[in-house]
Structure 1
């Protein structure tokens, strides 16, 4: 176990060395999402609760974390308790099985990679679930967001830039209209490797592309 700070904040959290750990994408999504005071926020695949801690800087509303891994839920519970956050709920379940009143905001740093070959999968169960679409495929994610998000609610996602077409297709199928795009590029590369997305449930068709975010090494 390590005790690390959320980039750009004075908030610390516990992380397990054998599980998925927050990275640059976590921090970028934490600052990209827009949360208003008293809005209810759900984090799908919450892991250690890092994105809920980012959300706690913006809202006094209820924070809800969902994860299929029991150990991740216990870690998120510990981190939120340590920061004396009172109005929160950590749900140990597959998102397909979660029944909840619609929320204002959903945020997700999902597994990025399709499962096309078992040899590609990470040996660790914890990291395999976090990085590969074993449980949370794009279609399951977008279907779940549509079901759990209020009308005109906002969905914030970070993903691989090379999956953008798949993301657009699944979002349109599920009444999620992309409103803001921001590509992420490593300073040493010429092309974007990631993308930040804001979508609105049953929103109008209008998308703003922001200046790309360049990650310094």
Structure 2
């Protein structure tokens, strides 16, 4: 019996992101990472100069944090409220032999200061739920996916507040979200002492409107100086664009 088979539970599979040499335990029954996790991890700046403290909020099955294992030196804390997803993240960490660098906290991110002290993190990343939780909102019938996509268990205000609270002065926060909420995001970041310094719009195809945006902010950074990267085009012809192929396959 292989190590992989002993770590898998019913309805699960192992997917790989060849570009970073990471295997992730997934399940369509509850959750599987998508391209936004790959794009967010790719957007994060490399840093091996220090033994960093990194926190991944709304970690799901741990994909974003694990995809950063080569780019960032230091220790990762993955925070995920759904126990089944947190369990998948723990087993993916073991699968990749990274138990010494990662730990998973199963809790509401609102309680994160009980596990990670305020003003102690160098980097905080988050792939949060994108959609507000309104009574008329059409939600996925799968409760795991509904929580991952809608602000049922947390919301943008709490995400931004905890991101700022965790970060040291001049620490870096990274977020992926929907462009339709960009004005709200930038307003909340600024109110929480997070100065947006870099963003990039993600377009499904050339000539199509952006459907994702990734943002880098610095806690107590100098005002101004926002850089907008060239747009990322996801699809070209019948497949992925060269830029996205490189993210996926190296």
1:40 aligned counterpart, secondary structure: strand
2:165 aligned counterpart, secondary structure: helix
The equivalent position to 1:50 in structure 2, one of 44, 51, 63, is: 63
Is the aligned partner of 1:96 residue 2:115? no
C-alpha separation between the residues in 1 aligned to 2:110 and 2:135? Answer: 24
**2:16 aligned residue:** 5
The equivalent position to 1:81 in structure 2, one of 72, 77, 94, is: 94
C-alpha separation between the residues in 2 aligned to 1:188 and 1:203? Answer: 33
- Note the C-alpha offset of 1:112: 0.4
The normalised TM-score by structure 2 is: 0.83
**1:128 aligned residue:** 146
Larger radius of gyration: 2
Aligned residues: 217
CA contact (8 A) 1:45 1:67 kept: yes
The equivalent position to 2:161 in structure 1, one of 143, 163, 181, is: 143
**1:178 aligned residue:** 196
The normalised TM-score by structure 1 is: 0.95
Tell me the C-alpha RMSD between the 2 structures.
Answer: 1.4
1:115 aligned counterpart, secondary structure: coil
Deviations 1:117-169 (A, max 9, x none): 25511111110110001122110111111111111100111110111001011
Gaps of 5+ in 2: 1-11, 240-250
1:191 aligned counterpart, secondary structure: coil
1:98-117 correspondence to structure 2 within 5 Å: 98-99=112-113, 100-101=116-117, 102-117=120-135
C-alpha separation between the residues in 1 aligned to 2:201 and 2:56? Answer: 21
Deviations 1:72-95 (A, max 9, x none): 111111001111111222111111
**2:9 aligned residue:** none
